């Protein structure tokens, strides 16, 4: 995993979101006439004539989704239908058929065959390619096309400045899941949600006496007690522990949850960041985290190679009731889809939060809080069939009104009123989220689906917290104690190395090749001597990389630059 992946989660204030009327639109024929031709992408964005009448002419935009796990249809959801009725806009999603959605996007870029819009990870290398080649419209150009400056207000000055392209001076990113100023300042009155944690099957945990799991010894003892008291579940062996829940990339869960528990994440303290930065996976706390997994496998408390299980495999194990402890995300399909299947058989078998095991020094765990300056952005390509309609739609979708629809649902259908700042949902919605999350709450109603257009995290958290069942509340109650908000200057997009630069290539070799190959060997080491050999081999290979010292110096230099930029922004 690239270094930037460790610096992804933080928080920052976005601009004040203002509720404005829907934008008026021009005649579709005139707007279409003014679109740039495929061979003139560098031409100035057209400024369509703005009239006072809304344009609700039906139009369908194509949109590339780089995530294989995201399988949704616009036209079958309540929210999608409502938005189409309100705006005339609908979407045809082009979903990547492979786990690495970037590969297909690379082909689209190379062949100049982009769809109308592209959803992309803010930190993905392809975003910079699209921006630098000006194959997508900037926020400034979209405002020009929409005949309104509201999109800039929706995105916010801080976000626009932070993501401004240094080569052409334009801003493109319309991020989702952006945090609030209160969260940035770690206001004690605000609960900072943490999406990672440890959970245990409630009935088994209670049956073994709800033991303390805050130390490695106590945690292992709890697993052994569970295995001894419940050797089988429905005739099949109990699986005491897994750490890969619903992510296809097990590195993320290991780094965020196991390493977070051992305070072995990549987030350096200020002195390390500026003066003594080293790859975090070469340090002692990280070694403890790896050895912890190795110990569980060697003692038969976790299945071999379980770290590489796919989402469906983990889901099937959880649905069978065989998994005792999960280290992973606090919400998601692993609980909402799979665990609920077993709950139908045993209502006491939900997963409750437990204390994460700590390192040998007893350091407090640190989990990345689910707050930040964004995860994805929707980019409008220069191939877009109607940039004016696209610009007006995105402006509305990222406004207060649009956000309310995508995050809260359809007024009058999903909720009856707004009370104390949150919707009062119908019983049908409440029951669907609890019992039919995938097939009804998401697939039919459209909740938790269309977070593409400046989706604001604060509203989502209010609704999620209100609709959670007791098991989920328990997981968050424990995990939120260890939320760790990474300062913006420490994490954004790694360090901005060019994809083919020496620094980027060194980073990739260290993380993906050397560490990526070494971890499974250490997990499966048959004894301590083998483990030590594999660890030393990995560290020696890292330390022998040509140009490593220059890389470290450049990382520290760029970290200081980001820190100074951040300080200047916060003074404005």
CB neighbour class for 235 (10 Å; exposed up to 12, middle 13-18, buried from 19): exposed
Is the pLDDT assigned to residue 336 strictly greater than 50?
yes
Mean pLDDT on 125-130: 91
The pair phi, psi for residue 65, each rounded to 5°, is -115, 120
Rounded mean pLDDT, 310-334? 88
- Name the band, by pLDDT with cuts 50, 70 and 90, for residue 488: low
pLDDT value at 164 more than 60: yes
Q: How confident is the model at residue 7 (pLDDT cuts 50, 70, 90)?
A: very low
| pLDDT for residue 384 | 97
Q: How far apart are the C-alpha atoms of 205 and 224, rounded to whole Å?
A: 12
Classify 198 as helix, strand or coil.
strand
Per-residue pLDDT at 29 exceeds 70:
no
Distances, alpha carbon 280 to alpha carbons 174, 366, 484, 507, 537, in Å: 31, 14, 17, 12, 16
| pLDDT score of 342 more than 80 | yes
Question: Residue 499 and residue 128: Cα distance in Å, rounded?
Answer: 9
CATH T-level assignment (fold) for domain 9-15+58-183+372-462? D-Maltodextrin-Binding Protein; domain 2 (3.40.190)
> Confidence class of residue 370 from pLDDT cuts 50, 70 and 90?
low
Q: Check residue 398 and give its pLDDT.
A: 92
pLDDT score, position 100: 82
Instruction: Supply the DSSP symbol for 194.
Output: B
What percent of the chain has pLDDT above 70? 82
DSSP string computed for 397-424: HTSHHHHHHHHH--BTTTEEEEETTEEE
Average confidence (pLDDT) over 514-527: 94
Give the burial class of 268: count Cβ atoms within 10 A of its Cβ; 0-12 exposed, 13-18 middle, 19 or more buried: buried
Q: Identify whether the C-beta of residue 525 lies closer than 8 Å to the C-beta of residue 306.
A: no
Domain ranges (residues) in the chain: 9-15+58-183+372-462, 196-368, 502-571
Structure-model confidence comparison of residues 205 and 268, the more confident one: 205
The set of residues, in sequence order, having a beta carbon less than 8 Å from that of 503 and lying 6+ positions away, is: 495, 497, 551, 554, 555
Mean pLDDT of 41-45: 35
Look at residue 43 and give its three-state secondary structure.
coil
Domain 196-368 grouped into CATH 3.40.190.10: yes
DSSP code at position 4: G
Averaged pLDDT, 349-362: 96
Burial of 538 (0-12, 13-18, 19+ CB in 10 A): buried
pLDDT at 435 exceeding the cut of 50? yes
Q: 54 falls in which pLDDT band (50, 70, 90)?
A: confident
pLDDT of 140 strictly over 90: yes
Fold matches, 9-15+58-183+372-462 and 196-368:
yes
Residue-wise pLDDT tens digits, 214-267: 999 999 999 999 999 999 999 999 999 998 776 566 777 888 899 999 999 765
Provide mean pLDDT across the span 141-152. 96
Average pLDDT, rounded, for the chain: 83
pLDDT (0 to 100) of residue 177: 78
Residue 88: pLDDT above 50? yes
């Amino acid at each position: 995993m690239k270094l930037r992946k460790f610096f992804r989660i933080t928080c920052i204030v976005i601009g004040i979101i203002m509720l404005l009327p829907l934008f008026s639109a021009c005649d579709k024929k005139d707007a279409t006439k003014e679109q740039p031709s495929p061979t003139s992408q560098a031409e100035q964005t057209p400024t369509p004539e703005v009239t006072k009448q809304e344009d609700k002419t039906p139009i369908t935009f194509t949109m590339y989704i780089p995530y294989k796990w995201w399988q949704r249809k616009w036209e079958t959801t309540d929210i999608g239908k409502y938005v189409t009725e309100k705006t005339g806009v609908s979407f045809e999603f082009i979903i990547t058929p492979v786990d690495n959605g970037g590969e297909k996007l690379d082909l689209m870029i190379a062949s100049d065959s982009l769809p109308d819009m592209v959803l992309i990870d803010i930190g993905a290398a392809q975003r910079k390619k699209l921006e630098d080649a000006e194959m997508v419209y900037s926020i400034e150009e979209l405002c020009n096309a929409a005949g309104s400056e509201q999109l800039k207000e929706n995105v916010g000055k801080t976000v626009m400045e932070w993501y401004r392209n240094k080569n052409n001076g334009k801003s493109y990113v319309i991020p989702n899941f952006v945090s609030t100023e209160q969260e940035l300042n770690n206001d004690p009155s605000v609960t900072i949600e943490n999406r990672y944690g440890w959970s245990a099957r409630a009935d088994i945990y209670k049956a073994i006496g709800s033991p303390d799991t805050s130390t490695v010894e106590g945690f292992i003892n709890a697993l052994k007690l569970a295995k001894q008291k419940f050797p089988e579940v429905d005739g099949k062996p109990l699986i005491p522990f897994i750490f890969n829940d619903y992510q296809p990339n097990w590195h993320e869960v290991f780094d965020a949850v196991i390493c977070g528990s051992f305070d072995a994440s990549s987030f350096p303290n200020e002195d390390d960041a500026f003066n003594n930065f080293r790859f975090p996976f070469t340090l002692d706390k990280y070694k403890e985290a790896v050895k912890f997994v190795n110990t569980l496998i060697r003692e038969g408390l976790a299945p071999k190679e379980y770290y590489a299980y796919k989402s469906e495999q983990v889901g099937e194990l959880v649905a069978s009731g065989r998994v005792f402890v999960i280290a992973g995300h606090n919400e998601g399909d692993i609980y909402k889809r799979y665990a609920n299947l077993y709950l139908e058989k045993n209502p006491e078998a939900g997963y409750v939060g437990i204390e994460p095991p700590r390192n040998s020094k007893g350091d407090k765990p640190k989990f990345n809080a689910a707050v930040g300056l964004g995860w994805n952005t929707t980019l409008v390509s220069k191939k877009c069939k109607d940039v004016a309609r696209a610009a007006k739609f995105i402006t509305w979708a990222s406004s207060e009104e649009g956000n309310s629809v995508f995050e809260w649902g359809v007024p009058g259908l999903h909720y009856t009123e707004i009370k104390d700042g949150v919707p009062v949902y119908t019983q049908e919605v409440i029951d669907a989220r609890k019992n039919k999350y995938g097939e009804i709450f998401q697939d039919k109603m459209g909740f938790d689906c269309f977070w593409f257009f400046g989706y604001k995290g604060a509203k989502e958290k209010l609704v999620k917290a209100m609709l959670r069942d007791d098991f989920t509340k328990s997981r968050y109650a424990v995990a939120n104690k260890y939320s760790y908000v990474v300062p913006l200057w420490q994490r954004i997009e790694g360090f901005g190395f060019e994809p083919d630069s020496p620094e980027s290539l060194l980073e990739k070799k260290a993380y993906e090749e050397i560490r990526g190959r070494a971890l499974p060997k250490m997990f499966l080491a048959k004894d301590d001597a083998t483990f030590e050999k594999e660890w030393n081999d990995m560290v020696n290979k890292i330390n022998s990389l040509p140009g490593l010292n220059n890389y470290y110096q450049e990382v520290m230099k760029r970290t200081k630059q980001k820190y100074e930029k951040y300080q200047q922004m916060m003074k404005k």
